[in-house]
Structure 1
């Protein structure tokens, strides 16, 4: 078994599957929100960012695609998990911008509410990595690599 094979073997369980489907629902609901309430999502795009409205438009499709991938991915769950986690990391500066510019959106109408929201973004990253088995697969791959190097 190669290092790549070990890295791609994601643990599967009912809680992880439900977690993936739940995260997919969050992403797809977000995508729908982009279409129905674009101004709310525009509030998260930093004011200095070029083509702000296009960012909201294109991120709609990214969220739909990531949500679908979480549900449909069988063999590549680990890769999907890392991509979804990276997406949540990439959009985090928008949440920071909303906090710093004191922009009201999504019912976040106080610094405290916007600050608390910032604490939840890392949880989305953890949710993506756990529900897809990405963290567990990485640990197994590291263990396999360490074991292989010891045998040499």
Structure 2
């Protein structure tokens, strides 16, 4: 059984992923394209849609998983690591999106990705 703090963290992270995934597929699709690295050999819109579907799946799994919660946390953490190059690309190529309209804002955002990794692992780990 998880602690209340871990449960809240997992619920917030799962809900955030479901919301972000839905945003990938609807109203924020263009904004998310700004994060797709040019070096990725896929169409940016295809990448945005695929990552949105994955986010909805991961978020739902974080909210619903019971027996494999730790595994879901590891997979979510790996996803956050996998999409980090998109954040770096957005910063390096000075692409605006989601209010990240200065180099400093885009740079500061890079430091939030490790926080997401940590929350994914922490909130799904069994307490000692």
Range of TM-score over shorter length: over 0.9
- Give the distance between the partners of 1:92 and 1:122, measured in 2 at CA: 9
Comparing 121-130 with 48-57, greater Cα deviation is found at 48-57
| Aligned residue number for residue 97 of structure 1 | 89
| Aligned residue number for residue 33 of structure 2 | 42
Match of 1:120 among 87, 95, 112: 112
| Aligned residue number for residue 125 of structure 2 | 133
Q: Flag structure 1 segments of 5+ consecutive residues without an equivalent.
A: 1-10, 141-152
| Aligned residue number for residue 23 of structure 2 | 33
- Give the distance between the partners of 1:83 and 1:14, measured in 2 at CA: 22
| Aligned residue number for residue 16 of structure 1 | 6
- Give the distance between the partners of 1:57 and 1:95, measured in 2 at CA: 17
Match of 1:111 among 91, 103, 117: 103
Tell me the alpha carbon deviations over residues 6-29 of structure 1, each in whole angstroms, 9 at most, x when there is no partner. xxxxx5111111110000111011
Select the structure of larger CA radius of gyration: 1
4+ residue runs over 4 A deviation: none
| Kept in 1: contact 2:15–2:63 (CA 8 A) | no
- Give the distance between the partners of 2:28 and 2:4, measured in 1 at CA: 33
- Give the distance between the partners of 2:28 and 2:72, measured in 1 at CA: 27
SS in 1 for 2:98: coil
Tell me the alpha carbon deviations over residues 64-106 of structure 1, each in whole angstroms, 9 at most, x when there is no partner. 0000000110000110010000000000000000000000000
Q: Flag structure 2 segments of 5+ consecutive residues without an equivalent.
A: none
Q: Which one has a larger percent helix, Structure 1 or Structure 2?
A: 1
Scaled by the length of structure 1, what TM-score is found?
Answer: 0.79
